[in-house]
Amino acid sequence: MQKPFILQALPMDLSIVIINYNTFQLTCACIESVLQYVRNISYEIIVVDNASPKDNANEFLVRFPQIKLVKNPENNGFAKGNNLGIRHAAGKYILLLNSDAYLIEDCLLPAIDFMQHHREVGALSVKILYPDGRFQKTARRFRSLRNELLDLARPLLLMMPYSKRATLMLNQYFRGDFDTEVDWVSGAFMLFPKKVVEQLPEQKLDERFFMYGEDELWCYQFKKLGYKNYFLSTTSVVHIANASTEPAKQLQLLKTMIAHELEIMQEMHGRGLYYHTLKSLFLTKEYGRYWVKVLVWKVARKKVR
């Protein structure tokens, strides 16, 4: 029998914000995993339904009467949906948790304990796994000319000891096997103190992107405030992260992500020579990798991540 979450007097430890858009069954599984595994902290679950045309949002309250349901009158994006949830949050900490993610252990107690002992932390994520147990490469560095060039010179990187290479580059060079400071983490599981949001312009997360790239932008803005972002290796969640294998849809997604990445790069580096050199290198690499993936898919019907 599932135990209900702890009901305590405020201040509450944690508010978990989950955005639903036509993912009723996945969202229910996500909520159930939280109820199953989270212990010894006071928390609330806030489901924000982004005007799902295929879901009856009231059904969440039928199945989970203890949650807070916020019905957004329109689907105005991931960032705006999360900000709406945060406005209803009573917790000291906020967890943004994707509807297609689910807990497999009590990852929140050690994550919050880590943050309580490291007051300099802005955003924190844990090890994120695919359903088959593979590690998702969600501990990342910001793009820089140095790292883009090093990525092209992989034989040189592979000559380094693993720990040095992984710490320097993160991303695909990191296996998620040690705790480390990072530049940015995935919005699929992003934990941060509510006070950090209150220090941002307009006291909310940046809403300029409808979807994709907002997690990198937020982490950059947290760092500008003087906070550090961290990856915690000792506990895990699962993120389904299904993506289309159809080349046309992959290209559309790639174009969106590239546009957002370029906007973040402009915010970080301005529009001078450094930015334009980095932009050229970045575009060459990303479109080159896309066409390699298309070729592999057409020849072998194999998806390349």
Digit-coded pLDDT (tens) for 192-246: 999 999 999 899 999 999 989 999 999 999 999 999 999 999 999 999 987 555 6
Backbone φ and ψ for 292, nearest 5 degrees, come out as: -65, -45
Q: How confident is the model at residue 10 (pLDDT cuts 50, 70, 90)?
A: very low
Distance from C-alpha of 219 to C-alpha of 224, rounded to nearest angstrom = 9
> What is the predicted pLDDT for the residue at 231?
98
Question: What is the DSSP track for 10-51?
Answer: SSEEEEEEEEESS-HHHHHHHHHHHHHH--SSBEEEEEEEE-
* Greatest extent of the chain over all pairs of C-alpha atoms, in Å: 61
Q: DSSP 3-state assignment of 129? A: strand
pLDDT band at 4 (very low <50, low <70, confident <90, very high): very low
Report how far residue 166's alpha carbon sits from residue 163's, in angstroms, rounded to the nearest whole number: 5
Residues contacting 70, CB < 8 A, separation 6+: 46, 47, 48, 49, 84, 85, 88
When the pLDDT of each residue in the chain is averaged and rounded to a whole number, the result is 91
pLDDT score of 297 more than 80: no
Decide: helix, strand or coil at residue 275.
helix
pLDDT digits (tens, 9 = 90+) for 125-180: 999 999 999 999 999 999 999 999 999 888 889 999 999 999 999 999 999 999 99
CA distance 294 to 279: 22
58 has pLDDT over 70:
yes
Quick one: which of 58, 89, 62 has its CA closest to 196? Answer: 89
pLDDT, position 2? 43
pLDDT band at 13 (very low <50, low <70, confident <90, very high): very high
Q: In whole angstroms, what separates CA 61 from the centre of its chain?
A: 26
pLDDT tier for residue 12 given thresholds of 50, 70 and 90:
confident
| Contact by Cβ (8 Å): 4, 35 | yes
> Which two three-digit tokens encode residue 170?
């993160």
Burial of 288 (0-12, 13-18, 19+ CB in 10 A): exposed
Instruction: Name the pLDDT band for 289 (thresholds 50, 70, 90).
Output: confident
Is 52's pLDDT higher than 60?
A: yes
pLDDT-derived band of residue 8, with 50, 70 and 90 as boundaries? very low
Rounded to 10°, the helix 162-169/145-152 angle is 140
Q: What is the pLDDT of residue 43?
A: 97
* Geometric angle at alpha carbon 114, from 123 and 211, rounded to 5°: 20
Look up the pTM and report it: 0.90
Give the Cα separation of 29 and 14 in Å (integer): 19
- 59: confidence class by pLDDT, cuts 50, 70, 90: very high
As a whole-number percent, the residues of the chain with pLDDT over 90 amount to 82
* Secondary structure class of 260 (helix, strand, coil): helix
- Whether the CB-CB separation of 263 and 143 falls below 8 Å is answered with no
Q: Do the beta carbons of residue 103 and residue 16 sit within 8 Å?
A: no
Has residue 6 got a pLDDT over 50?
no
The pLDDT of residue 301? 57
Band of pLDDT at residue 249, cut at 50, 70 and 90: confident
Q: How far is CA 27 from the centre of its chain?
A: 16
Q: What distance in Å separates the CA atoms of residue 84 and residue 73, rounded to the nearest whole number?
A: 11
pLDDT value, residue 286: 86
Classified as helix, coil or strand, 108 is helix
pLDDT at residue 296, rounded to an integer = 63
Report the pLDDT value the prediction gives residue 253, as an integer from 0 to 100: 85
Q: In the prediction, which pLDDT does 190 show?
A: 98
Q: What percent of the chain has pLDDT over 70?
A: 90
Q: Express each pLDDT in 82-114 by its tens digit.
A: 999 999 999 999 999 999 999 999 999 999 999
